[in-house]
Amino acid sequence: MDKLNVNDFRKADYLIDEMFINRWSPRAFSGKEVEEAVLMSIFEAARWAPSASNKQPWRFVIASTKEEKDLFNQFIMEGNLKWCKAAPVYALLLSDTEAGGAHAFDAGTAWGYLSLQAWKNGLITHAMGGIYKDKARELLNIPDQYDVHALIAIGYQDDISILEEAYQEREKPSNRRSLKETIIKGSF
């Protein structure tokens, strides 16, 4: 498989660790199984994310068996299901609302840690908002105190030729806006 040169698509303006540039969200998943120790190490990284008052509000509901994935597939929107069903693992990201106002922020930080550790482990991840959250709550018996945020596909990267043509065209790292557009000094 020819790998894309991420530097053709992304360049940092300031010196940062290469993992921030090289990690992106491919859609071409191999069906290769992820070893338990490798998989658990990415959740271990998420476990160490900072959180307000150390409440650690994130939870991950994981699907890795055929039966579990078939259940999850029922709440994934069709456009995402076309490509993500090849991923060997799904993780549904939740946050405990009883942890307070920063619960969603903290859950997002845990996802960030997970995605970077996955990249370091040779895995790819792709988080999706294109899910039916109410249906996920119902099918997985998620208590009301938990907000459903995103579904994360986890696995090894495959060649883009396995994707439908429309997805092949999109299968490249996206760039980011400049810091000048992102940072507002003093006040808005």
Query: With contact defined as beta carbons under 8 Å apart, do 173 and 6 qualify?
Result: yes
Give the full edge-to-edge strand order of the sheet including 124-128: 58-63, 89-96, 146-155, 124-128
The model's pLDDT over 137-188, given as tens digits with 9 standing for 90+, comes to: 999 999 999 999 999 999 999 999 999 999 999 999 999 999 999 999 999 9
Residue 5: per-residue pLDDT: 85
Residue 49: per-residue pLDDT: 98
What structural domains and CATH numbers belong to the chain? Answer: 27-168 (3.40.109.10)
Say if residue 93's pLDDT is above 50: yes
Mean pLDDT over the full length of the chain = 96
The model's pLDDT over 111-145, given as tens digits with 9 standing for 90+, comes to: 999 999 999 999 999 999 999 999 999 999 999 99
Scan for tokens 């991840």, then name that residue: 125
Other Cβ atoms within 10 Å of 40 Cβ, number: 13
pTM of model > 0.75: yes
End-to-end CA distance of the chain: 46
Residue 106: per-residue pLDDT: 98
Q: Which amino acid is at 166?
A: A
